Amino acid sequence: MTSLHHYDYIVFFVYFIIVSSYGFWVYYSKKSASSGSKDYFLAEGSLTWWAIGASLIASNISAEQMIGMSGSGFKLGLAISAYEWMASATLIVVAVFFMPVYLKNKIATMPQFLSQRYNEKVAMIMAVFWLMLYIIVNLMSILYLGALAISGISGLSIGFCIMALAVFAVFITLGGMKVIGYTDVIQVFFLILGGLVATYIALNIISGGEGIIKGFAVLRTGASEHFHLIFKKDNPNYMDLPGISVLIGGMWIANLSYWGCNQYITQRALGASLPVARAGLLFAAFLKMLMPVIVVIPGIAVYYIVKENMGAIQGASLLTSSGVQDPNKAYPALLGLLPIGLKGLSFAALTAAIVASLAGKANSIATIFTLDIYKKAFNIDAGEKRLVNVGKISVVVAMVLAVILSLIIGDALMGEGKQGFQYIQEYTGFVSPGIFAMFILGFFWKKATSNAALFATIGGFIFSVVFKFLPGWVDLSFLNTYGWAVANSSGVFEIPFMDRMLMVFALCVSGMYIISMVEHKKGVVTHGLEIDASMFKVKTSFAVGAVIILCTIVALYTAFW
């Protein structure tokens, strides 16, 4: 039985019409005479700073945050906000140090960077690798978790929701990055408005109708165990967020790899000038600071409502078929409390987040396949029109594959009782350390060789797999003293995946250094990038904004340590 009133569906369809109409207007009004592949994939020179920032957030905040991170807020508490607040700091680093390198060297795709800095072999291997990662992990997880949420709110079948989301996302993506970038501004508006409404309703319920300030005070007191940003070693959730590592350890590897070495993210800024790109990234950093209010606090609120048996949300609605609490049901349960009309608005916000992320991911898949695989391996002489058409076809193919995977294995990987957000983070973390090592040394160390890059790529993945399964072969209890291994529910000592990433990164950097030095002595020539110190100077306005964000992060960690 559906939980949406027909007025809610009206609100949702109004949203659909607004986004679609605006997308058509952008496509036709901003269509240039030279609408080639770079215009289609990168919207070269077309996106403003606010469009870049909004598009970054709209593409990043999807089902994995709205559903997965809210579920982690329900289970872990405010500590999961580290992914958002540390991402704000990371965006500043990327804007200052990474973006100048990309733009100065006219980088359009991440494989192009690898080809220019190392060689074609490294670039092609990583292009194929990224395509597999984007489709199998990212696109599939966004589709499945999004459909799970929409199904829970609307009463429609998960299969139907998966296919409907895919069709809507393809519809947006076929217009190219320009359409995605500008429609994302509307998506972010709905996302933030709907999220804030859901948070307001939850806190107002907790306060007994006396406002959100009192509601937050009651929540912080009544669920005080959920308001620690740094877990101690004896915390049952230490495995997910291993203490101080979220500040000085593996969290940086995850964030810098995602925000700085990821086609899906950097693509938004690669077609802009450096000042515009930096302003867009700074705007995204400010929006990122707001995200825990929209996705984490609601999860904690649902935890408190269920814990106190307030009746607004029945505990049974969060149980799996086996009776275990399912974190992924926290946000849909909260949306069920909204009044008619507002529920439709939040439904539209959730759909906006999912569709924007799907569209951005599909566009990145099309960009990498078309420019780095098709043009280089299959049709070197392909014209601009041909490349755009191949990009559109690859969007459809990628989405069809993601739909099939979601229907077949989505439930097994992210179904009842599992933290969808943590699933994505851990399995992306199998490749992040090697990728980041390859990029960071490629940026700033001219002696790094292509064989060293291959070592980081392949060796990083192998190291990650070994560390993952090492507890089954070796007793790691001796590492517990240092906080590098904790006992799981079965009493087996495991290395938290965030610490695994830091260890693997250190091994990759060490291996790259040794290989590069050996080859350098043998006379191997490397291709350094064009870099000078003046590239990293920033405007005063950017510096002021960056300081505000960093001081806010320090204040938050001081208040909620």
Q: Residue 496 — φ and ψ, nearest 5°?
A: -55, 140
Q: What whole-number distance in Å separates Cα of residue 133 and Cα of residue 141?
A: 11
Instruction: Provide the token pair at 488.
Output: 């799981």
Largest distance between two CA atoms of the chain: 74
C-alpha angle with apex 183: 16 to 329, nearest 5 degrees? 60
Structure confidence by residue, pLDDT tens digits, 491-516: 778 888 888 889 999 999 999 999 99
pTM above 0.85, yes or no: no
Instruction: Provide the token pair at 354.
Output: 């999912």
pLDDT of residue 518: 93
Over 60: is that where the pLDDT of 155 sits?
yes
| CB distance 271 to 46 below 8 Å | yes
Instruction: Provide the token pair at 314.
Output: 């029945």
Q: Where are the domains of the chain?
A: 51-106+131-222+282-420
Instruction: Provide the token pair at 114.
Output: 């690898």
Cβ-proximal residues to 151 (8 Å cutoff; 6+ apart), any chain: 157, 158, 161
Closest Cα to residue 431, out of 460, 388, 406, 391?
A: 460
pLDDT of residue 26: 66
Structure confidence by residue, pLDDT tens digits, 292-303: 888 888 888 888
pLDDT band at 414 (very low <50, low <70, confident <90, very high): low
User: What residues pair up with 486 in beta bridges, in sequence order?
Assistant: 494
Q: What whole-number distance in Å separates Cα of residue 126 and Cα of residue 109?
A: 11
CATH code of domain 51-106+131-222+282-420: 1.20.1730.10
| CB distance 480 to 548 below 8 Å | no
Provide the b/e sequence for 534-546 (b: ≥16 CB within 10 Å).
Answer: eeeebeeebeebb
Q: What whole-number distance in Å separates Cα of residue 102 and Cα of residue 263?
A: 12
Q: How many other C-beta atoms are found inside a 10 Å radius of the C-beta of residue 99? A: 23
Mean pLDDT of 239-254: 84
| CB distance 452 to 439 below 8 Å | no
Torsion angle of the four alpha carbons 398, 399, 402, 404, in this order, in degrees rounded to the nearest 10: -110
Mean pLDDT of 412-426: 58
Cβ-proximal residues to 433 (8 Å cutoff; 6+ apart), any chain: 253, 257, 460, 463, 464, 501, 502, 504, 505, 508
Q: Residue 325 — φ and ψ, nearest 5°?
A: -65, 135
